[in-house]
Structure 1
């Protein structure tokens, strides 16, 4: 029996052209690769201490020795719980880290004639699993490039690799090269915005630098705002009679919660309104509570969840529901789900809502006296904004093309340049710790066009 096995192995070596112990590279298209990869992911999910399911994003570096396969798999964390009833086909990558992954090396035994597949061992790491994201030679056509252009391309590739590492980007299959080209074009766009900006802002690489303009608008902005400006009808707020202070910031007075992250969902309208209500509740009741945006995403029957919405409709929805639950009781998921609002868990309510003047001095006075304001603006310069006071040309950032709702929390002056302090909902790893600073006094990017607030009695 031993001799027979020896003859089989030796024969395999002679037929294949490789010595029995030789590892050879295997094409990713081979059916066996898909089989062992599927088994490997299943085994990882079964044995790992993670409470959620991970899905395969990419298989790399496959090699084979007789019936053993050695390969790497990069997997992404989903929003499906291990003990949940969701189908794997419906699992979506996690909203706050949609591209954060884990890299595992697997050794799998596959013996088709015995119908046996077994994971022999695996080792996983979440650290630096992409070192060479692109093949430089495939991006650089040296026959058509000057040395100066080639140096520029190499610098772009270096910036892209740094971007990939910083933001834990994982791209399936050959997507990395396409994203590199988009990244390269976005560097040019950021420079054009930088050259034309009238303020002190710095534009450049952000976590959105691998997205096309269309992708960015679809995933993060709110198309309903611009089309709704003409029918923006609300009861007018009473303008304060006193002149506003020279500067004011509600963060210094305890009325603003931590920066949140809407994820890849056009729910900015919910974050803007909830931020306003958090401030109003604090000013009237003395307690700062982080309230639920997901309640609006799920239960507002007028607005369109991740497809966009209007602050005016959101206020009405909260009045009809009777109030808002806390973020803890009704946590954010970044996608529309069945409404699970419970009246017994209401932690804040509103009595009505009002529209605030378009005059920026009156906006400042109302803000200083009454709290943070829900506003909407043109997000033209925000995809590549890093820091400083942004002041795009009016022709580039039209006040009539509003597509993003945010929260106005304060105003002031930086070295002679007046600004609005704006809380965004794209996480703390964007802008200045999640904040955007926009020029004050010229209606920049339509910042004064859709100002509103809830009223708590």
Structure 2
């Protein structure tokens, strides 16, 4: 398919969704859809003409209209001027000079064009041209386009289409058909606006925009990747952790001390609770036993009878399940599948165990002190800003990221400052192609997004 046609098809998918059906709408000559439709109309004229010269567009002579029908219908009246180029084998040229500046010989044609993007079809429904005559007033289309810029909504649509094409390529997105692709483009376009609003309201240094989740509705994102159980069920009571009496260092990061495994990916499964817990135990095992091992989340998804696998769970319940099972297998022995299976846990393959678990106080200064002395902490937070987070220190307003709506479990691995802005360093479980190589940086000092409401750790003897 020609690049011009592909562009028109994609643009029309967006435009069809933006216009009311049935009514003719006036369209600017600078409308990207009109410009692409005009190119296709001129090409159609040259291919069917018996004249030996190539004709090119001089201007839109009678305005332009567009209408949503079974696709996008364009009604254009175009003044075509004779150029110095001969057809030969190539009738598709945009670089031909007009035969003379004025008077110019040309024809005026009315075209009706139908574009149906979801079946990749373009039809010239109607073409009617006048006899060739002298044209005394010439306004070249190149200068016309400079004088009539695209309207702001059209600029936004063009930008959205360009970003969506890059998004599909970068994240290797595949949709079942053109209709689904069109729907995802509409969602993507709305999400660009939502990310921009989050950006405007953020109090930190974060950048929000296109991520691998930009083609999902908020409901889809919550269902596939978040954890509704966290705000619906109270955690299991645990003993309160003792806070170190020594002052905490000004900054600390357990990645620098070998206590954190590589970023993992929970896939389309609400199993963040399992990743948060295994990350904590991996750090505790390293600090107590001297070796960093990657532990199995799938074992918890399959064998924890209290939590709900991909439907969500609580770290406090997961600790109890691990104690009852007798420990965790290695990731390499019980690999992650991203959906619940029958439990195949083997006590003979246990590589790490825990003795109990602790609740960590909600004061952020105490959280920092405990973390620096004792290792990474399992926490939960409100993931309000995370769907579109790209980098920087996120600091949403409390009213937008309230602490009583926590819905995602993660691993707190460190804290510090960037250019005077304090942050928490958080290991997520959405792969390294999200955020800052899989990490989320959240403002420290205001209990942002409820990050202090459910802090805990396993105890390794």
**Please, what TM-score do these two structures have when normalized by structure 2?**
0.69
CA RMSD of aligned residues (A): 1.5
Asked if 1:206 is matched to 2:211, the reply is: yes
Following the alignment from structure 1 to structure 2, what is the Cα–Cα distance between the partners of residues 132 and 211? 23
Cα distance in structure 2, aligned partners of 1:410 and 1:153 = 41
What residue number does 1:178 align with? 183
SS in 1 for 2:422: strand
Shift of 1:135: 2.7
The answer to whether the aligner puts 1:187 opposite 2:62 as a matched pair is no
The equivalent of 1:137 in structure 2 is 12
Q: Secondary structure at the match of 2:380?
A: strand
Alignment partner, residue 393 of structure 1? 397
Return the alpha-carbon distance in structure 1 between the equivalents of residues 206 and 12 of structure 2: 35
SS of residue in 2 equivalent to 1:347: strand
Partner residue in 1 for 2:155: 151
Deviation at 1:406?
0.1
1:283-432 matched pairs, under 5 angstroms: 283-432=287-436
**Deviations 1:116-150, CA, capped at 9 Å, x for gaps:** xxxxxxxxxxxxxxx86953223225746762221
Q: CA deviation at 1:377?
A: 0.1
Structure 1 residue matching 2:413: 3-state secondary structure: strand
Shift of the 182–352 alpha-carbon distance from structure 1 to 2, 3 Å rule, reads same
Cα separation, 2, equivalents of 1:212 and 1:310:
25
C-alpha separation in 2, matches of 1:401 and 1:234: 21
Report Cα offsets for 1:310-349 as digits up to 9, x if no partner. 0000000000000000000000000000000010000000
Give the number of equivalent residue pairs. Answer: 327
Q: Is the 8 A contact 1:406 1:423 kept in 2?
A: yes
Alignment partners' CA distance in 1, 2:176 and 2:8: 11
List alignment gaps of at least 5 residues for structure 1: 1-60, 62-130
User: Is 1:265 matched with 2:140?
Assistant: no
Give per-residue Cα distances to partners, 1:168-197, cap 9 Å, x unaligned: 001112101100010010001100000000
Q: Distance in 1 between matches of 2:360 and 2:263?
A: 24
Q: Distance in 2 between matches of 1:406 and 1:442?
A: 18
TM-score, structure 1 as length reference = 0.70
Structure index of larger Rg: 2
Given that 2:11 and 2:157 are in contact with CA atoms closer than 8 Å, whether structure 1 keeps it comes out as: no
Partners of 1:134 and 1:177 within 8 A in 2: no
**Contact 2:236/2:317 (CA < 8 Å) preserved in 1?**
no
Moved over 4 A (4+): 131-134
